[in-house]
Every structure is written in structure tokens, then in C-alpha cells.
Structure 1
């Protein structure tokens, strides 16, 4: 199970599928956990597999993955998915189900419902659940709570990938520890291989240090691995600004991101900023 978990956490979804399909479960619990990782990998590679294969009689942990797939597939599904989650939470259906808790909290995190996600994870014991808490606290600008959670994770298992990733995220929010974040990402890459997620983390670390040339090289490597990655493209736009790339290229890249990923949080924030600017400009003109 270690290899399966590790491959998923670092974003190597094809390896997750390969390992998962070859994994021989020794118990029904292990089988559910194996399928939980497999289907979450399919959310990133082919959500239709999840939507087609997971039925109503599946364990709750797997049905929650189906909700995640639906949420990620189209913004048209957001209202329905969040409505289902509300009904589950009102009935207390996911209490004591660590697999469902992590996935439901992930959906709520994506939806920007941070406080609801925190409530779902209030009793989480898993390192992945705790790492999600770190992301939530950082998104809420509660560095102190995030640092406390990372410290607890380190006490449980310092060398676990979930702990290392959470530590790197924390370092990226601490001006004096950007280099430590880069070191952590490099170490994980050396141990388990590079992925788009890890390369973006490393690229952001180098951007934070001010080494934009190095960040660009790393992000271009990530783009080779997946030329459709919104995360890579948005980070490259940021790098391009700092490297004074031609405005036409930056404008073209922005247009591409906004066209192919209109529901991406970064795209939505950019649209909102543009709308606010237009409103202010209109006030000054009148």
C-alpha cells in the first residue's frame, strides 16, 4: 500500500493505476482502499471511468470519489455535488469514514468552503487528512495553525511523503525557508521521480527565491510531461512576467488558459480582477 499511496500523493497517476491494478488485497478493507486510490487517480486521467464504474451500492468512500469526479468534470455539476454533500453532512453519514472524509473535504476545499472542510476533518487521523488541513489553514492565512499541524505530522512520521509535502507547503509561506522548500522537492524527486505536481512545487520555490531562469526551465520540463496542465501554464505566465517576456506571448498564454479552463480558480480570480478594474475605470470616466 505504501507504493500506491506514495505514487498518488506525488501526482504520478499512471503509476498509481499500474500499482493498484497489480495489488492483491488481503482483506475487503485493503480492497476498498486500493480502489479508492485507483479511482482517485482516474479522476485526474479519465473521470468517465469513475462515473461509469462506481455504482450506488459501492462503499461510501468510493461514492465520494464519484462525487469528486463529477465536480471536476464540469461546473454544471457543482450545485448538485455540493447539495449531496450537504445532505450527507446533515445526516452525519461520513462520520468515522476516513476515506470519505478526505475526499469530501477535498471537494469542499476546491469549492472554497474552507470552514466546512475543516469541520469534516476535525477528527482526522490520517497523514493525508492532516496534510489537507495544512492546505486549508494556509489558504485561510492561518500560518500558525498550519505550522502546528505540520509539527504533529512530523511527530507521527517525519519521513512520510505527506509530511514532507506539507512541510514544503509551509516553507513556501515562510520567507526565510524558500530554499528549504526547494530542497524538500528536490529530495522527493530524487527518491520517487519527477511529476508535474512536484516540478511545479520546485518551480514555485525557485520563483520565491528569485531564480526565475531556473524556475522557467523546471516548469518547461513539467509542460513536456503534460502540456495541458493549468498549474504549469499559470506558473509559466508568472515567470514570463518576471523575465520580461514579450507581452504578446504572455497575452496569448493567458487567453489560452482562460479559453481551455474557464472554471479554473486562477482564471476565475483573474476574471474577477478584470471586472473590478473595469468598474473602477468606468467610475473615473464618468
Structure 2
């Protein structure tokens, strides 16, 4: 007789986190009688949810120096995103050179996330490329897409599909890759986000995913209504504001309010950097004519 498989007590919490339902993940985290490993994974996901909601100081204050490596790594991410970048990267490098903990999958994941923020993709891959968890494989897909290497991203996706084709992260990675490849793949990406929206709580991440697909397909009115729904859920979300700015331009509507909000709440966002660079070039061109 086959042994009964134990239920995955963290499935709902994990799924909420992956799909951007961060408050729902936090609210559903009070799970009794968790084994120690599951309890640690739960704590990691809850603190990462708080980070995603911008509550960096809460995470920094709640995780003390006696916490396990996985939680210490999450605390580093909170420090990094709160602006303490130099000391976070310095501590990260120190821990990654310590053979006793350097292979911890959460530490490697956080290293990948931080170096991806730094746009140092080769350094990120040093720590993520060997995989080991679905999150590490999914992060590899994101890094390769940022490097414009959809061929490598596709190899990572195939590994994920072999492990678990129906896993939420496999589906998400598939949609990201479809969007990067473009063309006829956009419709496939749209169907993945549509499937999520029918199965799970509608989140800003799902709405943005559908909206970006609509923009690629030239359906800007539909994209705008999805993005306004996302804005109702979180008025400061960087991707929503950036996508709304782009969508408004295509619809011939003013986009300055969304761009100004993006500048104020996310001064490091890639769209803000591109705008600043374009403005500098424009000013220099004017001066050369004057």
C-alpha cells in the first residue's frame, strides 16, 4: 500500500506570496503545529511579504542576530531596500564567502535578488544558477530575460516544467518568457494570467500581467481599465504607475501625473532613469543649438 502523502500546509501561503497577494499571505500565516522547517519557511515568506508591502523597518526590528541564516538573509534584503545598500552588500559578501552557510537556498535567492537590483546579472547568476528550489529557477528565468537571453531562460523554464508543470512559479515563468519573446506568444501569456484571475484572488501582479499583454496586442482601452483596477488596490505600486504612464501615452491622454507619482515613490525605477536621461540629452541638444 502506498504511503499517504502529507498535505502541503504552506501551499496557500506560498501561492498568495507568488501572485502578489502579500496581505493575504500574512493574514493566513497562523498555521498550527507546523514542523520546524515549515515554520521557518512560513516566517521567511511572511517577512518577505512585509518587505513587498514596504514595511522594511518592521522586518529589520523583528529579526534579531540569533535568527536562522534564512531569516538573516531576508533582513539583509530589507536593509538593502530601505537604502542601507553598502552595508547590506558588504554583509552579503561576507556570508557568501562563509562555506558553512553560503549554500543556504534563501541566502542564494536573496543574493540573486539584490544583485539583480544592482543590475549585476553575472554576479546574481553565480549564486542562483545551480538552482535547487523553484524560486531559484524562477529567478534565473527573470535574470536571463533581463540579459536578453531568452534561450537560456527557456532552458530554465524546461527544468521547472520537468519538476512541476502546474506549479504557480512555472506558469508565471512561462508567462514572463512569452512576454519577452513576443509575437504570437503574447496571447499565451494573456491566457496564463487570465487563468490565474479565475482561480485566485485578483492581485496587482495579475492585473499588470494581463494589462501588459493587452498593450502588446494593441488593446490599450482594456489595458487601462485593468491598470486602474490595480491602482485601486495599491496607489503606489511602481509597475502599475509605469504601465499606466505608457498606456496613457498610447491613448493620447496626459501621463504626467502617473510619472510624477512614480518619481516621488520610486525614484530608482528604470522608467524614471530613462526619462531623466532623455531630458538630459534633450537639454544638451538645445544647448548645442543655442
TM-score w.r.t. the length of structure 2 is: 0.91
Structure 1 SS opposite 2:39: helix
Compare 256-265 and 107-116 and name the one that shifted more. 256-265
Compare 233-242 and 106-115 and name the one that shifted more. 106-115
For 2:89 and 2:120, the matched residues in 1 are separated by: 10
Cα displacement string for residues 130-177 of structure 1 (whole angstroms, at most 9, x for unaligned residues): 000000000000010001111111111111000000000000012220
Which residues in structure 2 correspond to 1:39-188 (within 5 Å)?
A: 39-45=47-53, 46-74=55-83, 77-92=84-99, 94-174=101-181, 175-188=183-196
Which residues in structure 2 correspond to 1:189-268 (within 5 Å)?
A: 189-245=197-253, 249-268=254-273
For 1:213 and 1:225, the matched residues in 2 are separated by: 19
- Residue 3 of structure 1: aligned partner: 12
Change (3 A) 1:93 1:114: farther
- Residue 289 of structure 2: aligned partner: 285
Structure 2 SS opposite 1:228: coil
Q: Structure 2 unaligned runs (5+)?
A: 1-9
Q: How many residues align?
A: 279
Q: Structure 1 unaligned runs (5+)?
A: none
For 2:45 and 2:33, the matched residues in 1 are separated by: 13
For 1:173 and 1:163, the matched residues in 2 are separated by: 15
Shift of 1:281: 3.9
Shift of 1:93: 5.3
Shift of 1:31: 1.3
For 1:101 and 1:181, the matched residues in 2 are separated by: 28
**Conserved 8 A contact 1:124-1:130:** yes
For 2:214 and 2:173, the matched residues in 1 are separated by: 17
Shift of 1:65: 0.7
Q: 2:35 aligns with which of 27, 50, 62?
A: 27
Give the structure with the higher percent helix.
Answer: 1
- The alignment's C-alpha RMSD in Å is 1.5
For 1:94 and 1:117, the matched residues in 2 are separated by: 17
Cα displacement string for residues 71-101 of structure 1 (whole angstroms, at most 9, x for unaligned residues): 2223xx1122112222222334543211221
For 1:28 and 1:18, the matched residues in 2 are separated by: 20
**Conserved 8 A contact 1:25-1:34:** no
TM-score w.r.t. the length of structure 1 is: 0.93
Change (3 A) 1:25 1:132: farther
For 1:100 and 1:143, the matched residues in 2 are separated by: 25
